[in-house]
Amino acid sequence: MFPQNFLWGGATAANQCEGAWNVDGKGLSVSDCSRWKKEVDVKDYKAQHSITSKDIEDAMASDDEKIYGKRHGIDFYHRYKEDIKLFAEMGFKCLRVSIAWTRIFPNGIEENPNEKGLQFYEDLFNELRKYNIEPMVTLHHYEMPLYLANNFDGWYRREVIDLFLKFCKTVFNRYKNLVKYWLTFNEIDSVFRHPFTTIGIVEDRYPPEKFEEIIYQSVHNNFVASALATKLLHEIIPEAKMGCMITRTLTYPENCNPENIYLALKDNQKNLYYSDVQVRGEYPTHIKKEWARKGIKIDFGENDEEILKKYPADFVSFSYYQSRVVSIDTAGKEIVGGNLTTGVKNPYLKTSDWGWQIDPLGLCISLIDLYDRYQKPLFIVENGLGAVDKIEADGSIIDDYRIDYFRQHIAAISKAIDEGVEVMGYLPWGCIDMVSMSTCQMSKRYGFIYVDLNDDGSGSGNRYRKKSFEWYKKVIASNGDDLN
Ligand code: BGP
């Protein structure tokens, strides 16, 4: 049974849906440099994601929107009213969006904010409020100003904390009557998987032996920034709530061999250290031991420990797409992946066309486990199935596979709630089709709403309701009771 005030809705991010990358004073962000590498297998996430200094130079010199897919997005910047109307028709109670830092401070360092950017989000939030849809805002969703990546070593330099807080203060003040739910860093744990889009770090700019230390230092700066942003939020909007956000990459051992169980335990521990710091307000001892073992030295500011302790997150949010399996012996075994978390094939699970292992019960397990660990309200702010959809001759889109996916995942949430877990809401990822984060494809679709665009951005851009649209509408109307 879902609670009466459960926040049903969907999730988006500015860099994947807004388009309008160079409109109304917006600066370049790290995601404006991402491109679909057609020469590389879409399942090879590492190669799709890797970026060199030369790639960045090329991107900066180019106006191309076809290969840099996030630049065209789905033109949400100009069509958001039409899209919000459709979300309202489905009965959304909440929509997750992000504010592109580069619309407010194009290079991250300007003295004054860009009024056109501020106005855009004000209009957007007002439009949501018109339909009683609660906005949830991510402050940092793979959208760091490229200028900071190039001139400040991304999040490695501590000055970036103040620049980020200036951005936070500006938007908290401007939207204090409009936005109650905030998140600081999207999938903060992706720092090691794709450091450039996450924290503006380009691997070839540093000595390889220092690289791990640089990442740990940058993410430490994220933690401090997140705690200080939480402090600021509570001062400016006392009733507002700040969440931390991780990718829950639930890891199973291949079998009951204690060696595999240990491997899975270490993997889960590593995934959860990010929320440990942000919820418990201190580093777990295993991370400090790891630093000592590897000779990693992290610069703590004088008050950092106190800051982390005093301003923890109010709730824990996470994305959940798949589980993975680890083994001490991978030789000759099928390896499957998804967003840079590969593992051996789980024989009990089906895999999506992009190799992600579909595991609804894993969502229930994650909820129970996170609640046991933190005793804080949980919010599922991403979940969904990336698939190729087909338009039938009569214009319909019969996405039964997606309905099936959601039916099982929503049942899994319901099970966790029945076991006592406090869940605030459920926001399926890409509730309207948009450009994929990892591969920049348009053809990897997650939405209840189909957007008529091709991978190169060509197409009418028209929006169509998929079969899952009517289904999700019924789910919301019945508060999760009717999943048929
Ligand atoms: C998460 C990101 C999102 C998103 C989603 C699906 O990691 O927070 O931005 O896009 O994954 O991934 P993809 O678009 O690569 O299929």
Give Cα separations from 383 to 134, 361, 471 (angstroms): 19, 13, 16
Predicted confidence at residue 339, as pLDDT, reads 59
d(CA 212, CA 359): 31
Contacts 24+ apart (CB under 8 A), 453-457: 453/72, 453/74, 455/36, 455/69, 456/66, 456/67, 456/69, 457/65, 457/66, 457/69, 457/72
Predicted confidence at residue 215, as pLDDT, reads 98
Is the shortest distance between the CB of 437 and ligand 1 below 6 Å? yes
Is the shortest distance between the CB of 27 and ligand 1 below 6 Å? no
Average pLDDT, the chain: 96
Which CATH number describes the domain made up of 7-477? 3.20.20.80
Whose C-alpha lies nearest to ligand 1, atom 14?
436
d(CA 54, CA 239): 46
Whose C-alpha lies nearest to ligand 1, atom 9?
437
Is the shortest distance between the CB of 346 and ligand 1 below 6 Å? no
Give the range among 78-87, 140-149, 161-170, 349-358 with minimum mean pLDDT: 349-358
Q: How far is the CA of 138 from the centre of ligand 1 (A)?
A: 14
- For this structure, is 239 an active site residue? no
Average pLDDT over residues 379-386: 98
Q: How far is the CA of 28 from the centre of ligand 1 (A)?
A: 20
- In ligand 1, which atom is closest to the CA atom of 444? 16
Whole-number percent of the chain with pLDDT over 70: 99
Is the shortest distance between the CB of 15 and ligand 1 below 6 Å? no
Predicted confidence at residue 338, as pLDDT, reads 66
| Helix extents (H) in 317-466 | 360-374, 400-418
Q: Is the pLDDT of residue 431 over 80?
A: yes
The pTM for the full model equals 0.97
Q: What is the amino acid identity at position 170?
A: T
Token duo for residue 251:
């890891």
Catalytic residue (one of 134, 143, 187, 254) = 187
d(CA 311, CA 303): 12
Q: Is the pLDDT of residue 342 over 80?
A: no
Is the shortest distance between the CB of 193 and ligand 1 below 6 Å? no
Predicted confidence at residue 340, as pLDDT, reads 57
Under 8 Å between Cβ of 70 and 31: yes
Predicted confidence at residue 451, as pLDDT, reads 98
Q: How far is the CA of 437 from the centre of ligand 1 (A)?
A: 5
Whose C-alpha lies nearest to ligand 1, atom 2?
437
Q: How far is the CA of 21 from the centre of ligand 1 (A)?
A: 19
- 39 vs 295 pLDDT, higher one: 295
Predicted confidence at residue 36, as pLDDT, reads 80
Is the shortest distance between the CB of 322 and ligand 1 below 6 Å? no
What digits encode the pLDDT tens for the residues 94-110? Answer: 999 999 999 999 999 99
Q: Is the pLDDT of residue 337 over 80?
A: no
Predicted confidence at residue 341, as pLDDT, reads 67
- In ligand 1, which atom is closest to the CA atom of 187? 8
Predicted confidence at residue 474, as pLDDT, reads 98
What digits encode the pLDDT tens for the residues 6-61? Answer: 999 999 999 999 999 999 999 999 999 998 887 877 777 777 778 999 999 999 99
Predicted confidence at residue 384, as pLDDT, reads 98
Q: Beta 94-98 vs 134-140: how paired, if at all?
A: parallel
- For this structure, is 382 an active site residue? yes
Q: Is the pLDDT of residue 308 over 80?
A: yes
